[in-house]
Amino acid sequence: MYIINKTNDLFKKIQLFKKKQKIIGLVPTMGNLHEGHIKLILLAKKYVDIVIVSIFINPMQFENISDFKKYPQTFLNDCSILKNIKIDVIFAPKISEIYPNGTKMHTYIEEPKLSNIIEGKSRPGHFIGVTTIISKLFNLIQPNFAFFGEKDYQQLLIIKTFVQELNYQIKIISLPTIRLKNGLAFSSRNRYLNEVELQKAPFLYKVIKKTADIIIKNNGDKLDKTIDLAKKYLIKKGFIIDIFNVYNSKKLSFFSKENKKNIILASVWLGNTRLVDNKKFILLN
């Protein structure tokens, strides 16, 4: 396993892989690896010859500097995990390597249709930071495949969109959300939760699942009432709701009975921790 910090060294390694006609896969992360990351990496190993995992806490996607500063840094433990599952390369650059002149005046990539709605509306500039760092990683690593989880569903659609529109010859592979037995989605932010909050957190997905079941049963009727009841239940449990609604799963437009493929997107606060989750469902009639 190689650990690379410099873009020039990465370029040389990539050229060597390309010369040997190796198929390259990228798994972008911000470190603090958990079971969801591991499943994603194991999936990547089935598709490619060379798995590259990036570890970079990207300041451009944080709208709050304090949130950026407190993001968990577990590099040595991450390296141990990645060595055990036998990945090929860790790319772990410093901020100055990626943004030598800082982030404020840095050229950026913006997908305009999906980046400023739903979570993008609540977190202005967040998705610009995401698409900019992902495009930089794509340019540096030139992967044949890139792998993303479906927990951050809006982010996934944005990445798929800009890959298509900017003509990247990269196949995006997604993996359904990996969960604990109690239903809580694995997330690097779960470590912010205290013991009481960890007991409450699984209720989010339970409510999402129940809401989807009711919408299917009602064939989309009484939607506003169903969503309102779900929100009231979450509030009663101690959640502060930012987003909880139903959208078309392809375009993220608001729910319509004509659209059979839908998704519930939720973004809530539990204490000082933001939790994001979702569930896709299909209207049968």
Binding residues for (R)-pantoate: 61, 155
Give phi and psi for 107, each to the nearest 5.
Answer: -60, 140
Q: Which residues fall in the annotated binding site for beta-alanine?
A: 61
Q: Which residues fall in the annotated binding site for ATP?
A: 30-37, 149-152, 178, 186-189
Q: Which residues fall in the annotated binding site?
A: 30-37, 61, 149-152, 155, 178, 186-189
Question: Considering only CA atoms, which of 152, 60, 117 is closest in space to residue 251?
Answer: 117
The CA distance from 29 to 101, in Å, is: 23
List the catalytic residues. 37
